[in-house]
């Protein structure tokens, strides 16, 4: 391993505000020394998710106390061991603890809780394993039973979660209707394996019926809110379920009462943090083990729009907060 630097960088904030890039800054600190039972981990890559942006604006459902360091997921390499630590070895790739403030060049983490990842595989892809892939997998498995050959419809299909849904559903033999908000997003999702890709609009239900042969769709995945939620509800079979897991429109979910009363459509919510609170470590490890294997082997992936060094974290956050991207924004050393 190379000699350790004398300093480290981290992206910190001590206030929240409506313009997320205005509250985050990169600062330099002395490099920490791992203590008894600890590892020093150097960052390989950390993602910027919509939840990270909403945390900076104060709109997310769970906010860390201030001051704080941004970021909830990432991967790194072990560069030093504290006293009494023999494993993981220096050079091992590990998953950074969820919510530890991953937008930093170095982290001191407990050795006993370190999750070792395969040494092979794209670090950018592995850095995105904590949030979006399990969300996609659980949306397909925890809400309603989906049989092989069945259909699921989703909006924001070109988001990180949306692209994982397409790949995971295809691997399970489930067909997808993928709704996007701009025409240029159609072709990439068709190339990814989306069975039907449509631009959202007031006549969405009619176009979905025509494209699927009036298939009985039991599940709709909503990341947008507003009237987009109702448009998904219109596409479902009677008794179907819309599950909301995001609010990209910034508006509350709206469903016309007739969908709920006369057609029996249900509206539910999903939050990955809540799933963690109600499941066992064994269940969590089983899910992540499967996802990590698929990502490391290159069978599960997400598009990357851009990478930024930590010194340009404000520019990175501004990029992640804007619409029209064609992939995820990540921070790298």
User: What is the tens place of the pLDDT at every residue in 106-146?
Assistant: 999 999 888 899 888 899 999 999 999 999 999 999 999 99
Whether 57 and 144 share a structural domain = no
Whether 139 and 259 share a structural domain = yes
pLDDT computed for residue 281 by the predictor: 82
Whether 202 and 325 share a structural domain = no
Whether 211 and 82 share a structural domain = no
Is 155 inside a domain boundary?
Answer: yes
User: 46 near 331, Cβ under 8 Å?
Assistant: yes
- pTM metric for this prediction: 0.88
Whether 183 and 268 share a structural domain = yes
User: What's the rounded Cα separation, in Å, for the pair 49 and 56?
Assistant: 11
Which residues of the chain register pLDDT less than 70? 1
Count of domains observed in the chain: 2
Whether 138 and 265 share a structural domain = yes
Domain extent for 213: 133-273
Is 196 inside a domain boundary?
Answer: yes
**pLDDT tens digits for range 45-91:** 999 999 999 999 999 888 999 999 999 999 999 999 999 999 999 99
Is 31 inside a domain boundary?
Answer: yes
Domain boundary (254, 273, 292) is at 273
Whether 146 and 252 share a structural domain = yes
Whether 140 and 78 share a structural domain = no
Is 308 inside a domain boundary?
Answer: yes
Whether 175 and 188 share a structural domain = yes
CATH of the domain at 12: 3.90.180.10
Strand partners, 176: 152
| Residue bearing tokens 């490391």 | 296
Is 92 inside a domain boundary?
Answer: yes
Both tokens of 71, joined, read: 């970021």
Is 279 inside a domain boundary?
Answer: no
Domain boundary (253, 273, 293) is at 273
Both tokens of 10, joined, read: 């981290």
Is 103 inside a domain boundary?
Answer: yes
Whether 82 and 152 share a structural domain = no
Whether 115 and 194 share a structural domain = no
Is 151 inside a domain boundary?
Answer: yes
Whether 155 and 234 share a structural domain = yes
pLDDT computed for residue 98 by the predictor: 85
Q: Which of 93, 161, 157, 165 is nearest to 124 (CA)?
A: 93
Catalytic residues: 60
CATH of the domain at 203: 3.40.50.720
């Amino acid at each position: 391993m190379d000699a350790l630097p004398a300093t480290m960088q981290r992206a910190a904030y001590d206030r929240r505000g409506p313009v997320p890039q205005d509250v985050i800054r990169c600062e330099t600190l002395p490099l920490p020394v791992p203590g008894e039972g600890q590892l020093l981990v150097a960052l390989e890559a950390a993602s910027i998710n919509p939840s990270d942006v909403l945390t900076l604006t104060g709109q997310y459902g769970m906010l860390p106390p201030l001051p704080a360091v941004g970021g909830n997921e990432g991967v790194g390499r072990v560069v030093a061991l504290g006293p009494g630590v023999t494993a993981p070895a220096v050079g091992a790739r590990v998953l950074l603890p969820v919510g530890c403030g991953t937008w930093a060049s170095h982290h001191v983490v407990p050795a006993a809780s370190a999750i070792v990842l395969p040494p092979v595989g794209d670090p950018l892809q592995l850095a995105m394993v904590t949030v979006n892939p399990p969300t996609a997998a659980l949306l397909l498995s925890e809400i309603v039973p989906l049989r092989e050959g069945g259909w699921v419809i989703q909006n924001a299909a070109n988001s990180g979660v949306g692209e994982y849904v397409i790949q995971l559903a295809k691997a399970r033999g489930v067909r997808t209707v993928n709704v996007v908000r701009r025409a240029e997003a159609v072709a990439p999702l068709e190339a990814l394996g989306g069975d039907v890709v449509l631009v959202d609009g007031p006549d969405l239900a009619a176009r979905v019926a025509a494209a699927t042969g009036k298939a009985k769709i039991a599940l709709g995945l909503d990341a947008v809110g507003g009237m987009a939620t109702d448009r998904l509800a219109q596409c479902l079979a009677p008794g179907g379920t819309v599950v909301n897991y995001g609010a990209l429109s910034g508006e509350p979910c709206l469903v016309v009462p007739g969908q709920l009363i006369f057609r029996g459509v249900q509206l539910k919510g999903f939050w990955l943090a809540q799933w963690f609170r109600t499941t066992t470590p064994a269940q969590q490890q089983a899910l992540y083990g499967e996802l990590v294997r698929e990502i490391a082997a290159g069978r599960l992936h997400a598009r990357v729009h851009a990478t930024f060094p930590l010194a340009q974290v404000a520019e990175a956050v501004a990029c992640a907060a804007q619409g029209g991207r064609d992939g995820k924004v990540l921070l790298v050393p």
